[in-house]
Amino acid sequence: MAEKIAVFPIEDLSQGPNGVDFALTEYLEKDLDARGLEVASQEAVISFMARNRIRWLGFLNTYHILQVRKELGADLILLGTVSQRSEEPSAAFGMVLYLIRTDDARTVWSQARGLSCNDIRHVLGIAEPRSAEDLWPIAVQDILENWPKDMGLNRDQDAVSEIAEVDLGRRYVSSGKKVTCNLRLRSIEEGDRPEVTLRVRGKGHLRMKHKGGNLYQASWTASATEGSYPVSLILYRPSGKHKVAFLGIYHVDNSPPVLALGIRGLRLHGAVAFRDRILIIPRLLEQEPVSRWGFSVQDEQGKTIVHERREGNLPKCFVWQGRTDDGVRVDDGNYQIVIKVWDQAQNMAVVSERLALMHNPPDMVLEAKTRGQGLVLDIRNKGRVPIAFWHMEIWDDDGNLIKTAEGETLPAEVDVALPESTVECVLTAKDILGNQFRKEIKDLKLLVSQENVEGTATEEWSMEF
């Protein structure tokens, strides 16, 4: 009796991931028919694909291969893929064919062939192929010349084909949490319903409950001991045979992530001081996957002014620019950043750090006293942030620069010999956070006389530059 073969529609990758070439499929069917094989009709094959929801071409799983044998009565399946088809710059065609034996779902033969117009040269160019349409029949015939004569007799079918879907739930859980396994088996005949049990870490036999149809479910409590827990499935058939399959692994994790913060800034009075932006770098000291994280900033009253929460891994850094969630700039003062991280088992780690936002200019004081024929200018910093540098220029009425002085520390004294005319003084300074200060005094002598008389100075303020 002739062997029966089912030719599945040939996949054509030149048309995209799921392209199909029905002309080539029909050509193969005719050729195999001519070789004495009984060929299942294309309608029957397509109907089979629709019934079994086979949406992809070029491959089948063991279950479907066995179903082809059962539903179509086919001893063999031919699958094929057109790997390339092009016309420019020279026509080319490539394909692969696989022959599968259905009683043991084994691929018994296959061939690949690529052909280009440049591969075929005839004398005087007579009857040379010019296009992919000319090439593919030649390529197919080349392949089919090696059609196997003997299909072999190995009948063992190994893969666990009964499992249609399996879901072990979350990969990471903490102790005491429920672990649930849902399983859907392929269509089972009445009288052949297996007993389905699970083994966790090689121990115990947890019988799965039948939830109707082909659905099974089992739940258990995660152990108190941290570690990996492999889960295996055992199918006991009424015939007495059983099959074991490894379903997956879940992990029991009770330890929160180990989190540290790296903040670049100047530490002043127990807080990290900054002027307009601060870079916060979170670091997991032990690398592990992160499920979600939260970042918040609280003011001195404990009110949350910035809050962000996201799923997924921690970002490499956070930047706070001294503004609320609405973009409003906050006042100078002390704040607290809090970062929370949850691992895959929902264990939480929290770290926090105090920040000091200081974006006001330095609080500088300039006093003048007479000394002999000249003046002594006393410069002091009343603020909390140390000065990085200061610079003073003294000009006369004619615009001549009388004196300059500068330094990196305060308090400082500057001696000035006073001319007869008006003397202007400009003092600039910058603190170590970058806040800037500028003060212009139109007449230094007035500063002296006002201080001597009233103990206060008249200053002319100018805008920060």
Partner 1 sequence: MYLPWANSVSLRLVLSLTLLCLAACGPKVPDLVKYASLPDERICRIAVLPFVNETDYPLADTIAYRVFMAELVQTGRFDLAQEGDVREAFRHMRIWPGQQPRIEQIKILGDRLRVGLIITGTVVEMAEVPMAGAVNPVIALSLRIVDPGSGETLWHTYHRRDGEHYRKVMHFGILNTATSLADQVYREVLDLWFKKGLKGCAD
256 contributes a contact to partner 1 by CB under 8 A: no
304 contributes a contact to partner 1 by CB under 8 A: no
| Residues near 349 by beta carbon (within 8 Å), at least 6 away in sequence | 256, 257, 258, 259, 340, 341, 342, 343
179 contributes a contact to partner 1 by CB under 8 A: no
Asked whether 393 and 404 are in contact (CB, 8 A), the reply is yes
x/- binding map, residues 98-127, to partner 1, per CB under 8 A?
A: x-x----xxxxxxxxxxxx-xx-x------
Asked whether 351 and 266 are in contact (CB, 8 A), the reply is no
62 contributes a contact to partner 1 by CB under 8 A: yes
CB of 74 to partner 1, least distance (A): 16
Asked whether 320 and 277 are in contact (CB, 8 A), the reply is yes
CB of 81 to partner 1, least distance (A): 5
Q: Which of residues 209-238 bind partner 1 (CB under 8 A)?
A: 228
345 contributes a contact to partner 1 by CB under 8 A: no
Task: Pick the closer one to partner 1 by CB: 65 or 379.
Answer: 65
Rg of the chain on CA atoms, in Å? 42
From the list 160, 111, 168, 113, the residue with the least C-alpha distance to 136 is: 113
246 contributes a contact to partner 1 by CB under 8 A: yes
Can you tell me the distance from the alpha carbon of 414 to that of 372, in angstroms, rounded to the nearest whole number? 14
95 contributes a contact to partner 1 by CB under 8 A: yes
90 contributes a contact to partner 1 by CB under 8 A: yes
94 contributes a contact to partner 1 by CB under 8 A: yes
Residue 415 to residues 113, 371, 375, 379, 400: CA-CA distances in angstroms? 96, 9, 6, 11, 17
CB of 93 to partner 1, least distance (A): 8
96 contributes a contact to partner 1 by CB under 8 A: yes
344 contributes a contact to partner 1 by CB under 8 A: no
Can you tell me the distance from the alpha carbon of 384 to that of 267, in angstroms, rounded to the nearest whole number? 12
Half-sphere exposure of 236 (CA within 13 A, CB side): 9
313 contributes a contact to partner 1 by CB under 8 A: no
Task: Pick the closer one to partner 1 by CB: 107 or 421.
Answer: 107
Task: Pick the closer one to partner 1 by CB: 201 or 391.
Answer: 201
| Residues near 52 by beta carbon (within 8 Å), at least 6 away in sequence | 64, 67
Could you say which of 5, 28, 45, 60 contacts partner 1 (CB under 8 A)?
60
From the list 299, 437, 305, 297, the residue with the least C-alpha distance to 360 is: 437
- Is-cis flag, bond preceding 137, omega within 30? no
Q: How many residues form the binding site for partner 1 (CB under 8 A)?
A: 54
Could you say which of 92, 259, 297, 339 contacts partner 1 (CB under 8 A)?
92
17 contributes a contact to partner 1 by CB under 8 A: yes
CB of 170 to partner 1, least distance (A): 12
Can you tell me the distance from the alpha carbon of 92 to that of 140, in angstroms, rounded to the nearest whole number? 13
Q: Which stretch binds partner 1 (CB under 8 A): 55-63, 206-214, 365-373, 432-440?
A: 55-63
64 contributes a contact to partner 1 by CB under 8 A: yes
Asked whether 22 and 9 are in contact (CB, 8 A), the reply is yes
Half-sphere exposure of 229 (CA within 13 A, CB side): 25
CB of 107 to partner 1, least distance (A): 5
Which residues make up the interface to partner 1 (CB under 8 A)?
Answer: 13, 16-17, 56, 58-62, 64-65, 81, 83-84, 86, 89-90, 92-98, 100, 105-116, 118-119, 121, 154, 158-161, 163, 165-166, 228, 245-249
